[in-house]
Amino acid sequence: MVLKLTDGALFQSKALIGARVCESSSGSRVEVLDPATSQVLGTVPEMNSTDTQSAISEAEKALPAWRGLTAGARSDLLKKWYQLVTAASEDLAILITAECGKPIAESRGEVAYAASFLQWYAEEATRAYGDIIPPHQADKRLLVIKQSIGVAAAITPWNFPAAMILRKVAAAFASGCTMVVKPAPQTPFTALALGVLAGRAGIPAGVLNIVTGSIDSSIEIGTTICKSQTVRALSFTGSTGAGISLAEQAASTVKKISLELGGNASFIVFDDADIDEAVKGALAAKFRNSGQTCVCANRFFVQAEIHDKFVEKFTAAVKQLRVGPGSEADVAIGPLIDARAFEKVTTLVADAVRHGANVEAEGDVGLLGGHFFPPTVLTAVNSKMQLAHEEIFGPVAPIFKFDNESDVIRLANDTEFGLASYFYSKDISRCFRVAEAIECGMVGINTGMLSTATAPFGGVKSSGIGREGGRYGLDEYQELKYICLGGIT
Ligand code: NAP
């Protein structure tokens, strides 16, 4: 182990299937790299279809007892897990920064955010009420109850190694589902540490199974999950292309599917906005995790009257962002996850410049090299450029100029995606008008941060199906059952 953790046992490098921490059936292992240094952090089992099938069987075996617990008993276990995750937050933050690259302060924030789903769903578990419906005939009584859907699976990305897992698992466990989780190959250690803590919390064996893989084995694992009749729900977070492929495969077993996919968030600054607040919000919405979040602002639209003022202030603030390894204090921008990500962002910026964009700020990453990309501001951007339509997933802020409200709504909605959107305005009527007109699942008004365990997270159009978080998140793991009781005299 190259990492210094207070609790060394949290660095688990074997997968979790039932009661066993185990190797893959093939014996093959795969390396996990630190994106800041390309140093090998360790290896994990490269699992395959056989291993995935074993995990599904263990989840199936554990289901009756887990589903049979009272909601209160499951709630108590989730609360215990929450306490252990919170107590281990510094070690978990170190793991997140090491394998995903984000600045350590952000990793601490991610652990708190991830843990908040355990706390929230521990509470929601006991409130999954059904309904009693006025009967259509005098001798009948009609009830609707909510039941766990059964064995569920989660496939998660590397950009929030803890939060994307707990956002799904907490809701699934609260609902009485057991789970098979496949973390991203880049970030398995955070997932496995969460598994260690789940065991210590008393979550019974087989309720949580973690199948690690590699970029080469992901598709095999995903296909096994999708084709399994035992797995009744699949929750995926990742790119739209992968989501479509998984949805197509899952259709063959008519699974309930929840997809949290890519975004192309607009960030609009109207001329009545507080510009300093908008700059603060823009920094938060763009540069978190080096621009590698699905709700990152992807396209900035600034009204003509205040365009130059906003660009000046925003550019000055961006030039202050320190780039470096996430483990160093005061670093605001860590590395991109890998060479492929670096290549993609480089190509998008080159395409924009070729089509006439001006580079207003391009921070210097000096000798860092590797996957570090400088925080960049582009102006004179137009919709012919690739980055107007694609998720940048890097620290690049393209700024479009617009004239009026109806134009900017049309421009903001001119995308296949519909995850998040942000805007700044002090006009309350405009706030409602614009929030209702933007085609997306989440809107931030006068704020650059909107995620919380208590509210529904998810998108429309090609950004996904279903919601995570809030009371709505339980729905993805429950079935409604209608009971009609006749013969009442
Ligand atoms: P990705 O390439 O789609 O991968 C996501 C995860 O799914 C990875 O673990 C990946 O493993 C796995 N995967 C992909 N295809 C699979 C298949 N056919 N079967 C089984 N597993 C499969 O996305 P990413 O590049 O890691 O993550 C970034 C994307 O996620 C962005 O588009 C971002 O917007 C989106 N995202 C969305 C949300 C949201 O809540 N809406 C949150 C975070 C991220 P491999 O790497 O081995 O292929």
Atom of ligand 1 nearest to the CA of 158: 26
The whole-number pLDDT of residue 22 equals: 97
CB 80 within 8 A of CB 201: yes
CB atoms within 10 A of CB 436: 8
**Identified catalytic residue from 100, 177, 226, 294:** 294
Query: Could you read off the pLDDT of 272-323 as tens digits, one per residue?
Result: 999 999 999 999 999 999 999 999 999 999 999 999 999 999 999 999 999 9
The whole-number pLDDT of residue 2 equals: 75
CB 334 within 8 A of CB 304: no
Buried b (16+ CB within 10 A) or exposed e, 339-373: eebbebbeebbeebeeeebeebbbbebeeeebbbb
**Identified catalytic residue from 110, 124, 260, 360:** 260
Answer whether 180 contacts ligand 1 (Cβ < 6 A). no
Has 260 been annotated as catalytic? Answer: yes
CB atoms within 10 A of CB 179: 26
344: amino acid identity, one letter? K
pLDDT averaged per 10 residues, the chain (length 489): 90 98 98 96 98 98 98 98 98 98 98 98 97 98 98 98 98 98 98 98 98 97 98 98 98 98 98 98 98 98 98 96 94 96 96 96 70 95 95 97 98 98 98 98 98 98 98 98 98
The whole-number pLDDT of residue 139 equals: 98
CA distance 227 to 250: 6
Answer whether 417 contacts ligand 1 (Cβ < 6 A). no
CA distance 12 to 309: 51
Q: What global pTM score does this model have?
A: 0.97
The whole-number pLDDT of residue 361 equals: 82
Atom of ligand 1 nearest to the CA of 155: 7
Query: Could you read off the pLDDT of 69-97 as tens digits, one per residue?
Result: 999 999 999 999 999 999 999 999 999 99
Q: If phi over 0 gives left and psi between -120 and 50 gives alpha, with beta otherwise, what is residue 464?
A: left
Answer whether 37 contacts ligand 1 (Cβ < 6 A). no
453: amino acid identity, one letter? A
The whole-number pLDDT of residue 363 equals: 67
